[in-house]
Amino acid sequence: MINDKKVVVIMPAYNAEKTLEKTYNEIYQNFVDEIILVDDFSSDETKEIAKRLNITTIVHEKNKGYGANQKSCYKAALKAGADIVIMLHPDYQYTPKLIPAIASMMAFEEYDAVIASRMLGNSALKGGMPLYKYVSNRFLTEFENLVIGEKLSEYHTGFRGFTRQILEKLPLEDCSDDFIFDNQMLALILYNGYKIGEISCPTKYFAEASSINFARSCKYGLEVLLVSIKYRLAKTGFKIKLFNRGGRVLDMDKELNYYNKRVV
């Protein structure tokens, strides 16, 4: 615990057998109350390794997608009584050694969410990030900052932390089950006035580290642009339609103001 806040680390996992144990071994156990892994129907030994390491393990009976995996993680963390939830990919691309620093930024109530940024400093390219990913990350981030009106150094990191309040109040179930979930979640957080802090994080790219392919990256990029534009339109009073998971049509203004309707 940090400042009497229960800290839970969640790991959305898919075929992470080669990197899971290495990631787990770098987590400072003295600062973390529980580690929860959700295996999204991996075809390798991910769940067996997680259980051997005594990690609380939940297994999807079918592959549901990256966003759906996170939703399961957050539900399990809240059920476990977490005050602070740190989302860490088990692919060893981000260093778990930063967990105490990330958790502290929220435990002492300075921020409601924290992202570990690969773009602060010069570690991204030095860590092996492919040039096309670096360029696209910078472009998308600059576009989002311009349209949304923020000054984050990046929106696309897989190492981030949230307070219990955010996870309880925001309509995360209405977000996508795919990779764009991350971006939609940050849009909801910013729209509802929560404070996001950043910390510089070195990154490592290697053969075993998970990474979406070029085609999926292009799809994700287009979806990021769409989320940003719809965010701005909603902020300026337009009521537009957003197609979400399952083909369900949601009113963007209602979706982003869901928090205000639930809290008295």
Q: For the whole prediction, is pTM greater than 0.95?
A: no
Give strand pairing partners of 114. Answer: 161, 197
The pLDDT of residue 178 is 94
- Chain centroid to CA 197: 14
CATH number, domain 7-262, options 1.50.10.10, 3.30.9.10, 1.20.58.220, 3.90.550.10:
3.90.550.10
Q: What is the mean pLDDT of each run of 10 residues along the chain (264 residues)?
A: 96 97 96 98 97 97 96 98 98 96 97 96 84 93 96 96 96 92 95 96 80 84 95 82 43 46 34
The pLDDT of residue 211 is 65
Which residues have C-beta within 8 Å of that of residue 8, sequence separation ≥ 6? 32, 33, 34, 35, 36, 77, 80, 82, 84, 85, 86
| 131 token code pair | 């040039």
- Report domain extents, the chain: 7-262
Q: What is the phi/psi pair of residue 131, to 5°?
A: -60, -40
| 206 token code pair | 């290697």
